[in-house]
Amino acid sequence: MSERSNKQIRLAKRPVGEVQHSDFKFTESALPELGENGILLQNLFIALDPALRNWMDDFDGSYIPPVQLGAVMSAVCLSRVIESKNPDFPVGTIVRGLAGWEQYTIAGADGSRQVPGLEIVQVEEGIPLSYYLSICGVTGLTSYFGMLRVGQPRAGDTVVISGAAGAVGSVAGQIAKRHVDCRVVGIAGSAEKCRWLTEELGFDAAINYRETNEMASALRDACPEGIDVFFDNVGGETLDAALLNLAMGARVIMCGTISNYNNDVDDRAGPENMWQLLVKNARIEGFTVAYYGAEWAQTTAVLSQMVKAGELKHREQIVEGLDNTIDAFRGLFVGANQGRLMIKLAE
């Protein structure tokens, strides 16, 4: 199959601040022959997460090693096995793993790349393939473990979610509502997103941060008895405003801090109001979904059931073609996307 050529996006330099096209280069080359145990993956969907921005920095204290200069940019992909010398991954299998911004990925021994976490996806009838990168995939699992395990909401709690119209926030809110019977307030960046949260997803209230001068007082109005659980995808000023409104014993779930991913690692001031944790006997707890790896399969089944039963709604924004990857990724940081952002490469 060496006549098949592979288009790839490589990290050309370390971005400073916002990602630029010039930070990457496109390459195209013939695919090598498969080595022993090798698997050739055709990437169908590439998931674009804000967290990828961190992997572009040369900092080894993160949960993923930094992408090396000149290497293909890493990303979780949904792929089809189209050639295989590994009996565990027969041709035709749908798999998920940390592949990259490229059409094809060769996984296996013999000089080819490792694909961390490569796993076979059990595709269920009635669940579109893309869902395995979104609500039945990493974002759904992130919502689930973050809200239930880290946040530990109790019935009647007031739960606030930043980035609430995003892939993780929107599902986290529905889980707090359906699984635990909480009062759920979302923070999002447009009237349309807010309407979607309250009218379609069943959030109790939504705050449009673009129309709010003073987030702390907006939260005080929306949560007169304080915030019991704050599911934070944003960090920065939003977190600071939430800290001023914690209820006694509150739990802050640190899922992401998109507001400072474009800042240098040495320039990420923590929240000024962190001492409110002391006043309120509260906590901030971070997590990565990988921590709960042993429970992914069984939780994916739970999420699939909820989706089929119509209990979980979500949005996907699917952009076609590898060439649009960088622009789509940049859009994440200005809230241009509506729901889970993916690049579609093939049927």
Binding site for its own copies (CB under 8 A): 61-63, 235, 244, 248, 254-257, 260, 266-288, 291
Name 340's bridge partners. 316
Q: How far is CA 81 from the centre of its chain?
A: 24
Q: What angle do CA 213, 200, 197 make, to 5 degrees?
A: 20
The Cα–Cα gap between 65 and 336 comes to 28
Q: Which is nearer to its own copies, 23 or 285 (CB)?
A: 285
Query: In the complex with its own copies, which residue's Cβ is closer, 32 or 286?
Result: 286
Nearer to its own copies, 27 or 281 (CB): 281
- Look-up of token digits 């059409």: 103
Spatial contact of 84 and 58, defined as CB atoms under 8 Å apart? no
Task: Give me the least distance between CB of 232 and its own copies, in Å please.
Answer: 10
Kindly tell me which of 40 and 241 has the beta carbon lying closer to its own copies. Answer: 241
CB of 146 to its own copies, least distance (A): 10
Minimal distance in Å, beta carbon 61 to its own copies?
7
Sequence-ordered list of residues with C-beta below 8 angstroms from that of 329, at least 6 positions apart, any chain? 19, 48, 52, 341
Select 103 or 245, whichever has its Cβ closest to its own copies: 245
Comparing CB distances to its own copies, the nearer of 284 and 306 is 284
Judged by beta carbon, residue 257 or residue 300, the one nearer its own copies is 257
45, two tokens: 């969907």
- Token duo for residue 311: 């209990």
| CA torsion through residues 216, 217, 223, 226, sign | positive
Amino acid making up residue 202: G
Rounded Cα gap, residues 1 and 35, in angstroms? 12
Spatial distance between the Cα atoms of 6 and 40, rounded to a whole number of angstroms: 11
DSSP three-state, residue 69: coil
Q: How far is the CB of 250 from its own copies (least distance, A)?
A: 10
State in angstroms the smallest separation of the CB of 39 from its own copies: 30
| Closer residue to its own copies (CB): 52 or 107 | 52
Cβ–Cβ under 8 Å, residues 82 and 107:
no
Q: What angle do CA 319, 325, 330 make, to 5 degrees?
A: 100
Q: C-beta of 21: minimal distance to its own copies in Å? A: 27
- For the CB of residue 270, give the shortest distance to its own copies in the complex, in Å: 2
Min separation Cβ 260 and its own copies, Å: 8
Question: Which residue in the block uniquely carries the two structure tokens 């967290």?
Answer: 51
